[in-house]
Structures are given as C-alpha cells and as structure tokens.
Chain A
C-alpha cells in the first residue's frame, strides 16, 4: 500500500505472502474451476454457433437443440467462468488491499462449491429441457437462492476486511471492489425476485430481465475488472496512477449512469415509452467511464512499455483495458437511434456481450490469474510459450467474434428493416457472420485449452520453483533484467538483488 509501513520491507513481503497463502484454497478453486467452466462454455458456444449456419449439426440430440445449447453456453460463461473469476479476484484484492489475512477460507471454499454445484445442476437443467425461458436466468428456479446465499458467504468476509483495514488512504480498487460486492446481490436478488418470485406484468418481467442483463455486465463484471486493472497496472509497473481526478470521474460516472441502462433491448415494446430510450442514452453514456478509466490506465502503463510487453499480467490487462475502450465505443454506436432500431434483434447484442465479458472482463481476469496464481502456489508459470499462445489466440478470437457479430448484426438489421423484401433475404444475411463466429470460438477454445492445462499444472503444484518470474520477452535480448530481477541467471531468493525496501 502506498502509506508508509512501519514494517521492514521483508516483513511487509512476508505479510503479503501470508495473505496470499491464507487465500490459496478458495482463490485457486475459483480460478481453476472458472477456467474449466470457460472451456465448457466455449465448447457449447462452438456447438451453438455451428447450428446457426448448419442447423443439421447434431440435431438428433434434444439436449443440443439450439434453443437449449445457446442459453447453456451463456449461463456457463457468465456464472461458471465470469462470476467465479470475479469472486477469486474480488476476494484476493480486498484481502491484499486491506492487508488482512483471510480467516474464513474454508467457509469461502465451501460457498464456492455450493455455487459450482448450483451452476452445474442449472446448466444440466437447461440442456435437459428445464430452461425457464428467461434470458441469462434460464437455470431452473431452484438454483438462484443457493447462488445468492453462497455469494453472501463469499463476500461478507471481504466487507469485514475492509472495515478493519489499516487507517489511511483507500486505493481506488477497493472502492470498486466494495461497489461490486454491494451491487451484485442487489441486482441479482431484485431481478430474480421480480421475475421468478412475484407475479406481475409479463412485459415488465421482460423489461427487468433486460435491465438485469445490462446491470450484471456494467455493475459487476465491469467494476471487478476495473479494480483488478488499477491494481495490476500500478503494481507491476510501479508507476503512480496517472490521475486521481480521472479515477474519481470514472468511478462516479459508472455509479450514476449504469443503473439506468438495459431496457433499450425492449425498445418499441408496450412498456412505459421513456424506459427503453433512457436505457439507450445511459448505455451510450457508459462510454464516459470507459474513456476515463481507459485513459487513466493506458497513460499509467504507457510509462513502462517494456514492462507491459514482458509481463504476462500486463499484456492481458492492457489488452483488457483496450477492450474496455472498444466496449465504450460499441455502446455509443449500437444505441444511437438509427442503429438501435436495426441492431435491436440481431447478433449485435450477442457480439456486444461477448466483447464486454470476454474482450474486457476476461482479459483482465486472465491478467489477474497470471499475477495471483504464482503468489498463492509459490510456483512460477511453466512456459512463456503457453502464455503467448493463450494471449494471441484469445486476441484473434475475441476481436473476430466481437467485430463480426456487431458488424454482422447491423447487416442483419439492414435486411430486417427492408420490409419490402422477402424475409428469406434478411435471414440469409446472418450466414457468413455465423460461420466466422464459429471459427473464432474454435480459436478461443484452443487458447483456453492451453490456459486450462497451464493452470491445472500450477494447481497440481507442478509449477516452476523459482523466484524468477516467467516473462514473455525473448531471452536473448539483454533487457529482460531491470533493477528488480537482476541480470538473467541470477537467483533471487532473497528478493531484489541489492535495491533496498520498496
């Protein structure tokens, strides 16, 4: 932390290491289980995307009909991978930033298992024909209460840690973490109660569901990823965050704007007319926190370009921040009046969700995993080549899916709006974009296979025993060493070679 610590640097490092070790079981579980779920989600995504352009693919199996496998893919991606990666991130960040070891690791791990179990049963339930038919809430109704309860158990300790944090300045990431931990249960509980609990107007149930889908992205995944990005970029480069004012602008603009967004997915429906257009305006305005955070973080990272290239953490995190900026641009583009009516019922919505969840959140989560796992397992990553393959395949894949789906959606929309043409014209427009999407998902599945294997090996304590981090630079170029690691070949068990406390 930036405040002066009365501890010596070694004791400080030991405390941090102790915090890491106290969290090793729950965090490692969340990350590894999340990565496994990501593989499942990607596999389901390939199957579902293939069915859009080749409807006969695997069509003898009722469990794999498009209407079941597509929701299963999304639910696995969001609740299996996204939420668990987020939980690991939030719990670890709050512990480190509050400088408290975790004394409830067993409880958090148990809650994590309950979450996992619910999601597993839920996804199986969807495939077996028990889907509720509510987008992103398709898991059968029994699932959401255990999920909410396990979230409460997971997050409560972090709140306690925040409360007992040492006095002094609160780093911006802590505010984002706290906000995410408060927003998620509020959004999750109210949406599920209004849709599955109370019986009300079927139209408002659909509207609240649309609000939920947007709020989950902007009020849970986004603040989690931003918190991680602020922490990682600052920590690994050692540079101060570029602008405190931009940090505050970024946070409060997100808090004010994001809760209004979402109902633009129902523009034109017989609900109060101002709601969808207010939602569209709010989604457009999400570009403001995206710009504020993006500029802030990229300016910070720009001061240490070599570190960004060499560090796996920073490569992924900075790529994620760029993903955030692209998401902000997509928010503006897809919601202005002429485009909204065209893109409303097309692949664009899916492409946008993939951009936000994979292109932004997941990249930052990968950065977080590459940072945290060596610390909690006391091993270094085995192979920089595996990391590089993961990185490049992910970038190619997500750029393809996001661009193709968003652009293809607009093309689809143009066809739909051409009402004088027969419907088959519009329907066929989706075809090439669906093919490109399937191929991109295959890239992403490959990248994730490498990632999951790598992570599993670390989990099995088969990582590299070293104090020398695994970096991505080319070994023969002399400049892998900086003052921290010393010249290549130096064993650094004692910490930084000669430089004293930091």
Chain B
C-alpha cells in the first residue's frame, strides 16, 4: 500500500512536469497552429544558462552561482528571450503557412538550437550541483517523498491556477483565448496578432524556464538532448488532450506522465524496457478513437 502511494506521488510529479510542457505547447498551438518542437530546446537553453560555457564536465556556475531568486529570474528571462527570438525570426514569417510546414520549421529551429548549444558548450553531458536541499526526501506518514517532487507538484498546481486566472480575468488572457478560438475573427475584433502571439511565446518560454529548473534540480545533469524526451511526451500529451484545448493539454500531460510511471512500476520486468513504446502506442490509439483528442477545442471542423 505504502509502495502504491509512493508510485502515485512519482506519477503525479512526472505528470505535473509533462503537464507544464504540454501547456506551453498547447498555448502556442492554440494561437498559431504551430506545434512547437523547439519548446524542449528553450528548456535546454534555460538549463545551460546556469553554467559558464566551457568544455568541462563540471563547469563553473553562471546563473547557478546567484542567490536563488536571481537565479530563477535569470533562467526565466533567458528562456523567454529565446522563445521570443524564435518567434520573431523563424515563426512570424511563416505565420500563414499550413500546420505541416510550421511543424517542419519548428523541427528546424529545434535542430538549430541544439547544435548551436553544442558549438558553445560541447556535446558532453555535464553535471551540476544544485538544489541539494530539495533532493532530500521528506517523510510523510511513512511515505518518503523527495522534496523536488513536492515542489514540482506545488509549482504546477499554483501555475495552473495562475493560468486560469490570467486567461479568464486579464485583458491579454481573454484576447489569447479569443485568438485560440478563431484567429481571424479575433483580428477583426481588434486583437493585435503580433502582441498576442508574442505574449503566447513569452508564456511558453516562462514555462520552459520553470520546467528546466525543476528538471535540473531533479537530475543534477545537463545534456544537449535533455529537452527532447519531455517535449516528445508533452507533444503527444497535447495531441491526446485535444489540440488547441489548454485544459486538454494539461490533462494529457498529466495522463502521459502517470501512465508512464504506472507502466514502469507494474509492467513485468521483461517488458519494462518497452514502456515508452506502450505510451506512444497509446497516442496512436487515442487518435484513432478520438481524432480530435479527449477534450476537443471548439476550432471548427472543416466546412464543406
């Protein structure tokens, strides 16, 4: 029983992390039909901003050396700036392209960032000592929960609440929702596309920053490809949840995380290695049964 509760916490923590990445992807998809593969690389850049670019495996700290509020601010700012830059340089000129072209372009941006980072930091994985206080487990009624997991869940829940308030109550949030529903109509009603889209990217950068901090605190390592798996899982989470639906994205992220932890815990040992294949097969399955995802957005189906 205790073991089961522990698994549940693992599942919730991983689910939260994926939910945050999926939320960012869903946000951008909603406003410009772009599935942003580069979301994972914003996260990677944020993590690498913690250290000084060297070839060393245990590099000296850059933002990581600052007191933690400044460090968090530094990482968030880095991610936001990178997200805005990619929007301005790569995605804005392609705004009217079809989703497939946009997807390919985000693939290219991702590839670019990864290898640009490699030029600066070399491709070797690095270790970074950070957040050791968070790594300590906290004992709650006999269940040992790593502090990082608690932080992850707390941060996710508060961010989700924050997002709901932002989207429902603030002017820019309402404009974003309008744009996600029907972009052309929103423009006619005076929503300024550039502003809303830039804001969406800034938010996605912000989320990437948060996730990168949480990830580094959990693993203590940096890797050029560290963004790929979270973004892939989140990517599929967005699809499962229903593209363009923010609630769906968060839900999908959560589901994917939970499924993967549960499979890891309860699959027979021989099959455990194939866990991810199971998760990906789930994606295809969901799409077959519900091509529009679990919570379809109101983006209208094609009119004849």
Q: Do A and B share a complex?
A: no
